[in-house]
Each structure stands twice: as C-alpha cells, then as structure tokens.
Amino acid sequence: MGDGIVLVEDWERRVRDDESLDAQVKDKYISLLSTHRTSPTTPTASLSDSEERDLVSAGYLTSPNALSSMLGDLFMPPGSSNSLASVSSAGSRAATGTLAAVGGAGAVHDSGGGGSSALGGTRGVRPLGLAATTGKEREMTFALPGTGIYLKLLVAARQHFLQILKSISPRHREATMEILKEKWDGNTPNDPVNRLKRERGEWAGVLPGKTKRWREFYGMRFDCVLAECVGAGLVELFDTGAVGMAVRGR
C-alpha cells in the first residue's frame, strides 16, 4: 500500500502543466526529482517555506509521517511470510512506535519483495512512495495530486469488504459470491423482478444512491474490490461444489 512507479517524463509533464505553481517552483521541484531519483523522499533545504507550502498544497510533496498512519492498514495476512521475519527482528532492536520497529521503509525489499524502492534505480522511472525518514535535515516525500485520496479510498474499501465478510460468517469468514455482492451493493438486488418493481413504484428497499457503496466508495464495483482483496492476499476464492464460487478470509 503506497508503492508504485511513474515515468519521469510523465511526472515532469504533470508538474509543468500545473498552472497553480510558479515557474521557479516547478524548476526547483523537477531538480529535486532528478537529484533524488532512487529515493521517495527529498531534503527541502533548497526550498523556501512558501515554496514548500505551495508544493504541499498542490499535492507534489507530503509529510514523511503519512505512511506511519497507514502502516496498520497494510493488511498483511497472518501466516509464514518472509517479510514478517524482518519486522520481528526489527522490533527487538528499534524503539516502539517508530518506522524502524516494523522493518523500516525497505522492509518489503529486504525480505525479497518488490515495489518502488526496487524499481527506483530503473532508468526513466522513479518511486512513488510514502516512506518516512529519520535524518536530521528536514525531508518531505514526493507525491502526486490525488494519491492520498486514492489510497484512503482503497484502504476504506478493503476494510469494509472484510467487515461484510465477517458479519456474514463471524467464525469462518466465508460467503458465496452472490451474497457478498448483494451486501456490497447495499442489499439492492438488481434482478429483473426487482427492476420491474422499482419501475412500478412497488419496491420499498434502499435506493442504490443511498447505499454505502455510492455514498462512501463512489460506486466502486464489487469485482474491483474483490480483485483488490484477492491480489492483496486478504481473501481467497473456492468452489463450493453446490452453490458456485465463494470467498474465504485468510
């Protein structure tokens, strides 16, 4: 959560096309991008306070502490994971509550995983991360406008999906695809019978626009949040052999 790669040319074009920033601020920011290609953070000594505020307001810089508030939302499933070993060993040496206590910004890469840091040295791309730093010099994290909002939406959607699964089956955390989809959509069946009832004004259920899916998740489709949770290793699919495919929490 929070890792990705972006082509340098696309990133620079996005900055150049932003009319809310002065040309001098754009030049300084692009210079920082070029200087710190392999790091998700950058020192801000070359920026004035007003320039730094402008870049933060525009969404191109963010606080290094942004990740610390999301570490609990990484949704690492229980079990034997290589990354768990690095987190465990780090916790015995680092102070409680620090980024180092959970393995540091490179915990995934140290344990053999992939992500932005591993790709940071690739020519033409740079990391898009929210890693914290512990240096004495003030540093900020590179960002793109809208990234934080997107990650917040993704985290909330994952949490809600898992809550639905747990509410259906608190003990086994299992449910059929059909029941899960109906719950995600807000108990608003879209079968032909219910569509005809709504057209005749006979249906007394909750309108789709009033459901949590639309009020909080902007209409995110069931297959999208399901694929996200499967890809993150939070749930798995299995064939019941009787009522079709089902979902099980891991």
Based on the fold, state whether residues 47 and 140 are members of the same structural domain.
yes
Mean pLDDT by 10 residues, the chain (250 residues): 78 94 95 89 92 93 67 46 40 50 49 38 48 59 87 90 92 91 84 79 75 89 93 90 89
Based on the fold, state whether residues 27 and 127 are members of the same structural domain.
yes
**CA 21 to each of CA 32, 50, 143, 180: distance values in angstroms, whole numbers, following the listed order:** 15, 11, 15, 45
Q: What is the per-residue pLDDT for 159? A: 92
Based on the fold, state whether residues 111 and 223 are members of the same structural domain.
no
Looking at 145, 180, 197, which one is the last position of a domain?
A: 145
Based on the fold, state whether residues 123 and 156 are members of the same structural domain.
no
Domain range spanning residue 242?
A: 152-249
pTM of the prediction? 0.60
Q: Is 155 left (phi over 0), alpha (psi -120 to 50) or beta?
A: alpha
Looking at 105, 121, 145, which one is the last position of a domain?
A: 145
Report whether 1 contacts 74 (CB < 8 A): yes
Based on the fold, state whether residues 25 and 99 are members of the same structural domain.
yes
Question: For the chain, what is the domain count?
Answer: 2
Based on the fold, state whether residues 237 and 175 are members of the same structural domain.
yes
Strands of the chain, DSSP E: 5-7, 41-43, 61-62, 125-127, 139-142, 174-176, 235-239, 245-249
Report whether 182 contacts 167 (CB < 8 A): no
Looking at 117, 145, 173, which one is the last position of a domain?
A: 145
Based on the fold, state whether residues 124 and 70 are members of the same structural domain.
yes
Based on the fold, state whether residues 138 and 213 are members of the same structural domain.
no
